[in-house]
Structure 1
Amino acid sequence: MSGENCLAGLRILDLSQFEAGPSCTEALAWMGADVVKIENPKVGDPGRTAGRTDANDALYFLQYNANKRSLAVNLKNPRGLELVKALAATADVMIENFAPGAIERLGLGYEVIRAINPAIIYCQVKGFGAGSPYENNLAFDMIAQACGGLMSITGEEDGPPCKPGATIGDTGTGMLMAISILGAYVRRLRTGQGEHLQVAMQDAILHYIRNAFAYMDRTDGKAAPRAGSRTVGGGNPPIGVYPCKGGGPNDYVYIYTSAANPEHWNRLLKVMGREDLIDDPRYATPVARTEHRAEVDRIVSEWTIRHDKHTAMHLVGSATIPAGAVLDTREIAEDPTFRQRGIRQTMKHPAVGDYVMSGWPVRFSGQAPAITAAPLLGEHGEQVLSEWLSYDAARISELKGNGVVG
């Protein structure tokens, strides 16, 4: 069986928006959780319009809301608020990532929900943690990356701080919350105990740069520096991206020789036809190569530039040396093996049409969980109210007529 039934029966009331919260609940939805997304009846999740090019939901929204259901509820209507509380009473998990204090002002804070459902796992994602001097500040991915230390170690050695391309502040935080939800849920199954989970995006970034703190501690408290394409602290050469034939913006190959395996360097010399340097004292040890970094990089670059990046990766990798061609998104999208392995799948969306996106990368019994379409705004209102609250058609119709649900 694939992963879609792993969390069957787990009900998640999802009041999150944009990416950090939705990436968390999407991960659980891929594994079978019933994720009901509560949205504003007029505009829905702001992510629906982020970068939108036509009247359909933005591709950004599709990326982070696959396999979910949508219920549009007017939270400014007292009956809408009571409806969400009724749903919370039947939920296993509730999650939100509104601006600081917003959920409490709505009347859906932790103490309120816990009084309704003591066993609920109540989850909050914020930019900054409780007790931080910035806990009331707004934050997005790039703010968390800046304040969490990641930008300080990203970029060229002599250049300014740089934002990594991956949205580690958003999706990275979401993954930490997803893992924590699963841990709390396992305990809840054993003991019935609820939980209040809180994670700040700034704090999550610290988790992802632990190596940088280790470097700082090894160097008597010196702040970890930027190291370009090398690892924190620079590593021992050769390490980094080297130019390849073609001259395009991504015609590079990454080569890494580990200090823990001195044979990597000797093997690379053989691949490059430079056996004459195997016993050269200038390059014989990691320390020596670090002292002659520019010369080592020149020797390697003179060889890589004669090959395209795929050939260079094949030749170096075949010699049991870590190497990787720098692939861009188009090259990855056009590689059929990702589709064949289920890593990229087609979402069949009723409005957008067929849309190929990256799914959950972990296989269950050899198969990746399947992708179903991100919901249209309020698409599953009748289903959710019927299944979660046992409302009949007449009651649902009355709620719609009075603007409680969309």
Structure 2
Amino acid sequence: MGNYPLPTDKALSGVRVLDMTHVQAGPTSSQLLAWLGADVIKFEAPTGDITRQQLAHVVDGKRQESFYFKMLNANKRSITVNMKSKAGQEVFEQLIRKCDVIMDNFGPGVLTRLGYPDEKLQELNPGLVIASIKGFGSSGPYSDYKAYEPIAQAMGGSMSVTGDPNGPPTISGAFIGDSGTGVHLALGIVAAIYHRTHNGGKGQIVEAAMQDSVMNLCRVKFRDHLRLLGGTAELAEYGPPTLGLTYVPRALNDSGGGHIGNAIPCKPFGPNDYIYMVAQAPVVPVLLKEIGLEPDDERFAPAAARNKNQHEFWKYVSEYTKNYTKQEVTARFNELDIPCGPVLSTEEVVADPHVLHREMWTKIEGHPEGDYYTVGMPVKLSLGEVDKKYPSPGLGEHNEQITKDVCGFSEADFNRLKEAGAYTLPPKK
């Protein structure tokens, strides 16, 4: 990628982020900021972000850098710093002075043990926004617990409501703990920058916890928890009975919304040959007529009866859909204004014309190992997004550029720091 030009007219142009995060949650957040125009400096140990080699791709017997890393680190610059050397600390401290935001997702106390508690960072740069991702936050009974995606889902309520009521709890295929927390942190960072702009340039501490974020993304299920009212109410749109429960149950593909919904099979009956449809009350008479029943069928037309008889209702719908492909059913039902969509495999999603129109599967050109694809920017701005997505940086690719252009060191300083081991680990004895 080389010394790519930083945008000057984007939403976050002029904001410089020192990104010390690794793996998924933090890099998700910082990549969103980069795509909004921020100068994101990926600050790595000389060994690099672990995901550079995790789940590595092998082509013609050659091990390539992992897509895990490539897909989360576009439009960033990389500097490697040995924080255990005095020269490395000199570079780090100058970067702190020159950056607006520092991001980390270390375990509790890592920066403090290196000699940089929050107070020290704020002393170096009073306007600094210190943004962290933690599993369970920096305080509370679980603050020292380690967290991974499934653990965050388990402890945030998601697993308990996902899967078959007669089977074990199941994690979501969407990484709501990692990437979900990254999105929450990005919001917090942008809010802190806005606050600083309008409150005398004062920085602050921003924290996003994985358990908290999972809870927020499970908000509808906590709505249903309140609806149970201590076991005295029924969740009528759930297939399994809920009367008497004091917790929200797993309910397979029940919609959990104001109208019943389900995944319905279509021909040719492959693993993803389903539509998901919602029996929205105003269009139920139209749906009943389409599948060959009377629009005022007393078993299904009234909402209370439909909820009670939904198992039989879905059988009738399935008898109709079995004659068509999921695309045919989707097209027909949308003509009738019936909420419906096909279950798309990853293969189908990345080739879907609407997804491509929205630039949500986007080609990244110019990586030394070849072009690759990544998930695009989910937030669309009429003004302020970057015009081009650059590939993830090589490890330490921008050491010299960042040292000179950001830190303000001379070439002689760079050579001195390099010689003193600022960017590399000392040779093994």
TM-score band, normalised by shorter chain: over 0.9
* Pick aligned residue for 2:335 from 304, 318, 334: 318
Paired position in structure 2 for 1:69: 77
* Pick aligned residue for 1:356 from 370, 373, 390: 373
* Pick aligned residue for 1:273 from 282, 292, 296: 292
Measured against aligned partners, the alpha-carbon deviations of 1:164-223 in whole angstroms (never above 9, x if no partner) come to: 001110010011110111111111112212110112101111111111111111112321
Alignment of 1:264 with 2:286, yes or no, is no
Query: Is contact 1:121–1:185 with CA below 8 Å preserved after alignment?
Result: yes
Cα root mean square deviation, aligned: 1.8
Paired position in structure 1 for 2:66: 58
**How many angstroms does 1:104 deviate by?**
1.4
Question: 1:282-297 alignment to 2 at 5 Å?
Answer: 282-297=299-314
* Pick aligned residue for 1:195 from 204, 213, 226: 204
Alignment of 1:11 with 2:22, yes or no, is no
Paired position in structure 2 for 1:34: 39
Measured against aligned partners, the alpha-carbon deviations of 1:291-326 in whole angstroms (never above 9, x if no partner) come to: 112110100111111110000111111111110000
Q: Secondary structure at the match of 1:84?
A: helix
Change (3 A) 1:135 1:366: closer
Change (3 A) 1:210 1:63: same
Query: Is contact 1:4–1:30 with CA below 8 Å preserved after alignment?
Result: no
Q: Secondary structure at the match of 2:371?
A: strand
Paired with 1:366 and 1:10, the residues of 2 have a C-alpha distance of 16
Query: Is contact 1:342–1:368 with CA below 8 Å preserved after alignment?
Result: no
* Pick aligned residue for 1:106 from 91, 95, 114: 114
Percent identity over the alignment is: 37
**Number of residue pairs matched?**
397
Query: Is contact 1:90–1:388 with CA below 8 Å preserved after alignment?
Result: yes
Measured against aligned partners, the alpha-carbon deviations of 1:242-278 in whole angstroms (never above 9, x if no partner) come to: 00001110000001023xxx2221121233233x2x2
Paired with 1:366 and 1:243, the residues of 2 have a C-alpha distance of 42
* AA at the equivalent of 2:355: F
**How many angstroms does 1:368 deviate by?**
6.3
Paired with 1:82 and 1:129, the residues of 2 have a C-alpha distance of 29
* AA at the equivalent of 1:217: L
Alignment of 1:181 with 2:175, yes or no, is no
Question: 1:60-99 alignment to 2 at 5 Å?
Answer: 60-99=68-107
Query: Is contact 2:77–2:398 with CA below 8 Å preserved after alignment?
Result: yes
Structure 2 residue runs of 5 or longer lacking an equivalent are 1-6, 231-245, 425-429
Paired with 2:9 and 2:75, the residues of 1 have a C-alpha distance of 10
Paired position in structure 2 for 1:376: 394
Alignment of 1:329 with 2:333, yes or no, is no
Paired with 1:250 and 1:4, the residues of 2 have a C-alpha distance of 43
**How many angstroms does 1:351 deviate by?**
2.3
Q: Secondary structure at the match of 1:353?
A: coil
Query: Is contact 2:8–2:14 with CA below 8 Å preserved after alignment?
Result: no
Q: Secondary structure at the match of 2:276?
A: strand
Query: Is contact 1:100–1:137 with CA below 8 Å preserved after alignment?
Result: no
**How many angstroms does 1:398 deviate by?**
2.2
Paired with 1:299 and 1:343, the residues of 2 have a C-alpha distance of 36
Structure 1 residue runs of 5 or longer lacking an equivalent are none
* Pick aligned residue for 2:220 from 211, 217, 226: 211
Change (3 A) 1:224 1:319: same
* AA at the equivalent of 2:56: R
Between stretches 48-57 and 359-368, larger displacement belongs to 359-368
Query: Is contact 1:40–1:72 with CA below 8 Å preserved after alignment?
Result: yes
Between stretches 390-399 and 62-71, larger displacement belongs to 390-399
Query: Is contact 1:21–1:125 with CA below 8 Å preserved after alignment?
Result: yes
Paired position in structure 1 for 2:364: 347
**How many angstroms does 1:367 deviate by?**
9.4
Paired with 2:69 and 2:144, the residues of 1 have a C-alpha distance of 26
Paired position in structure 1 for 2:263: 241
TM-score (norm 1): 0.93
Q: Secondary structure at the match of 1:168?
A: coil
Paired with 1:92 and 1:379, the residues of 2 have a C-alpha distance of 22
Query: Is contact 1:343–1:360 with CA below 8 Å preserved after alignment?
Result: yes
Paired position in structure 1 for 2:254: 230
After superposing on structure 2, the runs of 4+ consecutive aligned residues of structure 1 that deviate more than 6 Å are none
Measured against aligned partners, the alpha-carbon deviations of 1:129-149 in whole angstroms (never above 9, x if no partner) come to: 233222111111111011111
Query: Is contact 2:57–2:67 with CA below 8 Å preserved after alignment?
Result: no
